[in-house]
């Protein structure tokens, strides 16, 4: 993948915690690196097929001038989100430098950096209470409505018996492939929000539920902490996860077993 880079874009704006920083403009410098395949535009020498860096620089400048944040961390992160939302780029890295930060020691500048990358994520959805299909369709609609999520593929519904020995009613399960630059934890928080909207009851572990949304894979990432485990534990022993995933992503490779889903 190729990249288009912008270095030391100077913008004079108001960002900072101190009251005087909110009214007195000071310089900020931006470095922006965008992963973008410009092979076709280079071959045809056609500006319309690549990123217009003049337009991008003006958008970064306007965003910096039109907003006021306490932290340059916020300015940096939200600039990156703005670029990801506005342009078909694979990833973006943004650095913001603040040479006039109120520090009582000699220094060149203070800077913060962030990188956002579009990642393929595979989800498993299930419901075994009420209008099961309606709950699943609501969940997919809410995914589609999020500005930082793109729904790529949705499997057929798969009806199956409950798993785990606690739930009593049959489930309908589906798999969904999305692309997102939300972190795994940000995505999990949004999935829990959708489950709450569906009035999911978590009082009984593995009990009957209106909606269950799990992250099975997040690209090639492996996580295991008190909040989240990826790949989802025991996914390979659950037909209601594997069968819908085989339909939409048979060639996806598990980062732990190194097997394709089609081989499971």
User: Known catalytic residues?
Assistant: 98
145 in Cβ contact with 231 (< 8 Å): no
Question: DSSP per residue over 34-51, as a string?
Answer: EE---HHHHHHT-GGGS-
Q: How far apart are CA 203 and CA 167, in angstroms?
A: 12
Q: What are phi and psi of 222, to 5 degrees?
A: -120, 125
Q: What is the DSSP letter of 157?
A: P
Strand partners, 154: 176
Q: Radius of gyration over alpha carbons of the chain, in Å?
A: 23
Query: Is the separation of the CB atoms in 150 and 220 below 8 Å?
Result: no
Among the listed residues 74, 77, 83, the one whose alpha carbon sits nearest the alpha carbon of residue 56: 83
What residue ranges in 118-211 does DSSP mark as E strands?
A: 119-127, 149-154, 158-160, 171-180
Record the tokens describing residue 143, joined without a space: 């995914």
How far is the C-alpha of 126 from the C-alpha of 214, rounded, in Å? 9
- CA distances for 239 relative to 158, 175, 242, angstroms: 10, 12, 5
- Which residue bears the tokens 């085989």? 246
């Amino acid at each position: 993948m190729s990249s288009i880079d912008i270095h030391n874009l100077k913008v004079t704006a108001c960002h900072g915690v101190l009251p005087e920083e909110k009214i007195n403009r000071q310089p900020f410098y931006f470095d922006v690196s965008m992963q973008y395949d410009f092979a076709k535009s280079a071959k045809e020498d056609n500006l319309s097929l690549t990123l217009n860096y003049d337009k991008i620089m003006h958008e970064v400048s306007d965003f910096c001038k039109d907003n006021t944040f306490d932290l340059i961390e916020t300015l940096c992160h939200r600039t990156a989100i703005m670029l990801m939302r506005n342009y078909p780029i694979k990833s973006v890295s943004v650095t913001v430098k603040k040479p006039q930060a109120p520090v009582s020691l000699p220094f060149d500048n203070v800077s913060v950096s962030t990188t956002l990358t579009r990642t393929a994520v595979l989800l498993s959805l299930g419901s075994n209470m009420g209008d099961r299909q309606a709950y699943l369709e609501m969940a997919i609609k809410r995914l589609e409505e999020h500005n930082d999520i793109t729904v790529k593929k949705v499997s057929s519904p798969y009806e199956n018996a409950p798993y785990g020995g606690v739930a009593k009613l049959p489930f309908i399960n589906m798999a969904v492939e999305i692309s997102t630059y939300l972190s795994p934890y940000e995505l999990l928080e949004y999935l829990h929000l959708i489950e709450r909207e569906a009035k999911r009851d978590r009082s009984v572990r593995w009990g009957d539920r209106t909606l269950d949304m799990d992250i099975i894979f997040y690209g090639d990432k492996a996580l295991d902490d008190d909040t989240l485990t990826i790949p989802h534990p025991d996914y390979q022993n659950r037909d209601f996860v594997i069968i819908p995933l085989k339909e939409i992503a048979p060639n996806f490779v598990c980062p732990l077993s190194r097997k394709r889903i089609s081989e499971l």
